[in-house]
């Protein structure tokens, strides 16, 4: 029994995820991989699912592709069930794990996959978009890790899908492969496709997505344009030696979100470290050994999920 | 169904060296080793069949079983690398996936059959055209339960143990089915043999003797194995894909 919400209709052209949940049984007991996710993605959007390992990104993606059956909730892709969208050839995917089958050349493999669709891209076009034209004649078992990933990307786009789903596509790639990969990705996205990709690199989400959905602990903890998310999780810390510091005064400085005191040293967690630093130097002239560092993404996640749980408990 | 998909799957198989060694090389070498010295024996072990004919079909059974079961090894391998999940996000239906795997296995089996018939001819096997056709037909039908068994094993056995599992199964079924010596009489051994699908593959060699090579028992045994293994394969497949 589901009630259609007002927002659902607008998302018919895109993806609508409603109250999605999945728990796996493990030897240590049940693991709540996805714990109630609501998400609407308009057609043509490029959305990054950003989060640390175990955030629920892959499980969400598997349910989006119809590979995993949700315990609760629904997913619709262009107004139909994921399996139907897959059968209609509307979806292309690059899953997190998976090697290629051997004893075929790259061109033969991409041709094989193209043959499964009614209206695929031309094989040469897919190879070119993925930037692997020069590898066309190479046997799949003789590719490097980065090359394999780009062939897997070609396999995903040869479907000419309306929805492209990529689960941590650049994991295990070196810097150069990564750059080549995103250039290929950009060329494909220019064709007004809907793209959902999972990553745990903030920079990738920032550089290539229109919108970033931050996940942790099976929940969406934030959802917004990359700049906004970057401000949230890309917080900086100011560390300084400041004898006799007053917590209340420091906490009141502009751009400061949290204060930690450890003996004579203080750590200011900042949403705007520039403003905070200016104010600190103005008000606490005896502050010395000043250091500004970027907080790690993991740390930001811990903090955000912490806030999330506190809000849930309240 | 996409013929390109089937064509490229066949290409993959024929490029694989193991295929030539196990499905073609082994049976030929064993054939010349066993049947060669006995090529003038016209009544092998009281079966009424000449040694070259008997072993030709016996080793066809062995090679074709290996060929068809290897489809299961390919399924298992694709499961372990995640390739089957990649296929599940394409419009390829499960039915077409299995159909392609089985047809690929049958293509390998046909290669074995042709090669062994040629080897048989070199040891003086001469049969009327009708017998060749009838024998081939029976072998192809007799392989159906093995195709179902291959799909079941492909979903039940992990890739690191599928080699020994398939090798062991083939060896036991070939031995009990009479690949290495004719099974005669009414003893316990013969009774067990007659319940196995491999026995009836080997029995296809009886076509030259006039009368039906299989009889009602043969058809029943092959049909029963087909039904049972198909049910097992369907269950294994469902369990495998529902688990997640």
The mean pLDDT value for B134-153 works out to 91
pLDDT: which is higher, A72 or B40? A72
pLDDT at A234: 66
Question: Average pLDDT in the B19-44 region?
Answer: 84
Residue B58, Cβ density class (10 Å: 0-12 exposed, 13-18 middle, ≥19 buried): buried
Of A67, A88, A100, the CB nearest to B89: A67
Chain B positions in Cβ-Cβ contact with residue A155 (cut-off 8 Å): 86
A283 phi, psi to nearest 5 deg = -90, -35
Which of A65, A95, A113 has its CB closest to that of B82? Answer: A95
For a pLDDT cut of 90, what percent of chain A falls above it?
Answer: 41
> By three-state DSSP, how is residue A132 classified?
coil
Q: Which of A116, A122, A140 to mutate to test the interface with B (most CBs of B within 10 A)?
A: A116
**What's residue A230's pLDDT?**
75
As a whole number, mean pLDDT of residues A5-26 equals 73
The structure tokens listed for B48 are: 């009424």
- Is the ipTM higher than 0.90? The answer is no
User: Token pair 């005064």 is at which residue?
Assistant: A249
In the three-class reduction of DSSP (H, G, I as helix; E, B as strand; rest coil), residue A242 is classed as coil
Short-list A188, A186, A143, A146, CA closest to A170:
A146
Size of interface A-B (CB pairs under 8 A): 80
For the cut 70, the answer to whether the pLDDT of residue A293 exceeds it is yes
Q: Which of B81, B85, B90 sits opposite A113 (nearest CB)?
A: B90
CB pair distance less than 8 Å for A99 and B91: no
Residues of A with CB under 8 A from a CB of B: 62, 65-69, 86-89, 91-93, 95, 97-104, 108-109, 111-113, 115-118, 152, 155, 159
Min Cα distance B5 → chain A (Å) is 5
Cβ–Cβ of B91/A104 closer than 8 Å?
no
Instruction: Give the model's pLDDT for residue A3.
Output: 38
Q: What is the pTM of this model?
A: 0.80
Considering chain A, what percentage of its residues have pLDDT values greater than 70?
Answer: 89
Distance CA A135, CA A143 (A): 9
pLDDT of res. B177: 85
Contact predicate A205/A180, CB 8 Å: no
CA distance A34 to A49: 13
User: In a mutagenesis test of the A interface, which of B16, B74, B76, B86 is the best target, namely the one with the most A β-carbons within 10 Å?
Assistant: B86
Q: Angle, nearest 10°, between helix axes A106-114 and B3-15?
A: 150
- Determine whether the interchain pair B5/A108 forms a contact, defined as Cβ–Cβ distance below 8 Å: no
Give the model's pLDDT for residue A297. 61
Phi-psi region of B82 (alpha: psi -120 to 50; beta: other; left: phi over 0): left
Q: Is there a contact between A64 and A75 (Cβ–Cβ < 8 Å)?
A: yes
Partners of residue A89 in chain B, C-beta under 8 Å: 90-91
**Contact across the interface for A117 and B11, Cβ inside 8 Å:** no
**Among the listed residues B91, B92, B88, B33, the one whose alpha carbon sits nearest the alpha carbon of residue B62:** B33
Which tops the pLDDT comparison, B2 or B136? B136
């Amino acid at each position: 029994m589901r009630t259609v919400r007002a927002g659902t209709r607008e998302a018919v052209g895109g993806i609508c995820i409603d109250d999605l949940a999945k728990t796996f049984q493990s030897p240590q007991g049940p693991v709540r991989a996805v714990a109630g996710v609501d998400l609407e993605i308009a057609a043509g959007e490029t959305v990054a699912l950003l989060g640390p390992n175990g955030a629920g990104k892959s499980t969400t993606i598997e349910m989006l592709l119809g590979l995993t059956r949700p315990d609760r909730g629904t997913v619709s892709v262009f107004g139909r069930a994921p399996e139907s969208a897959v059968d209609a050839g509307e979806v292309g995917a690059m899953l997190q794990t998976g090697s290629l089958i051997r004893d075929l050349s790259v061109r033969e493999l991409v041709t094989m996959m193209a043959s499964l669709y009614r209206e695929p891209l031309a094989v040469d076009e897919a190879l070119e978009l993925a930037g692997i034209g020069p590898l066309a004649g190479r046997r799949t078992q003789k590719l490097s890790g980065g090359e394999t990933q780009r062939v897997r990307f070609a396999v995903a786009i040869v479907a000419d899908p309306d929805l492209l789903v990529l689960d941590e596509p650049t994991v295990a790639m070196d810097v150069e492969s990564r750059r080549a990969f995103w250039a290929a990705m950009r060329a494909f996205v220019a064709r007004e496709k809907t793209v959902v990709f999972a990553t745990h690199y903030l920079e990738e989400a920032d550089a290539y997505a229109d919108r970033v959905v931050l996940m942790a602990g099976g929940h969406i903890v934030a959802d917004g344009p990359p700049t906004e998310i970057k401000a949230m999780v890309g917080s900086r810390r100011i560390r300084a030696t400041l004898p006799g510091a007053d917590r209340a005064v420091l906490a009141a400085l502009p751009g400061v979100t949290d204060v930690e005191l450890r003996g004579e040293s203080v750590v200011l967690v900042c949403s705007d470290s520039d403003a905070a630093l200016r104010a600190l130097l103005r008000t606490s002239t005896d502050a010395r050994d000043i250091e500004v560092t970027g907080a790690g993404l993991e740390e930001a996640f811990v903090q955000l999920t912490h806030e999330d749980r506190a809000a849930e408990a309240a | 169904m996409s013929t390109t998909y089937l064509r490229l799957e066949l290409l993959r198989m024929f490029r694989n060296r193991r295929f030539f060694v196990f499905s073609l090389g082994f049976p030929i070498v064993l054939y010349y080793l066993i049947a060669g010295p006995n090529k003038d024996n016209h009544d092998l072990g009281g079966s009424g069949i000449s040694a070259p004919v008997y072993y030709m079909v016996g080793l066809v059974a062995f090679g074709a079983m290996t060929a068809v079961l290897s489809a299961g090894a390919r399924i298992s391998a694709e499961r372990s690398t995640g390739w089957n999940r990649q296929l599940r996000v394409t419009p390829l239906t499960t039915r077409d996936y299995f159909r392609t795997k089985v047809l690929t296995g049958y293509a390998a089996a046909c290669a074995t059959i042709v090669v062994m018939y040629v080897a048989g001819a070199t040891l003086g096997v001469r049969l009327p055209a009708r017998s060749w056709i009838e024998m081939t037909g029976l072998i192809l039908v007799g392989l159906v339960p093995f195709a179902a068994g291959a799909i079941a094993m492909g979903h039940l056995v992990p890739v690191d143990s599928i080699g020994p599992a398939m090798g062991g199964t083939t060896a036991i079924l070939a031995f009990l089915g009479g690949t290495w010596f004719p099974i005669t009489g009414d003893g316990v051994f013969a009774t067990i043999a007659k319940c196995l699908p491999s026995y009836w593959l080997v029995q296809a060699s009886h076509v030259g003797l006039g009368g039906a090579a299989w009889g009602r028992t043969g058809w029943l045994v092959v049909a029963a194995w087909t039904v049972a293994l198909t049910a097992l394969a369907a269950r294994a497949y469902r369990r495998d894909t529902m688990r997640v």
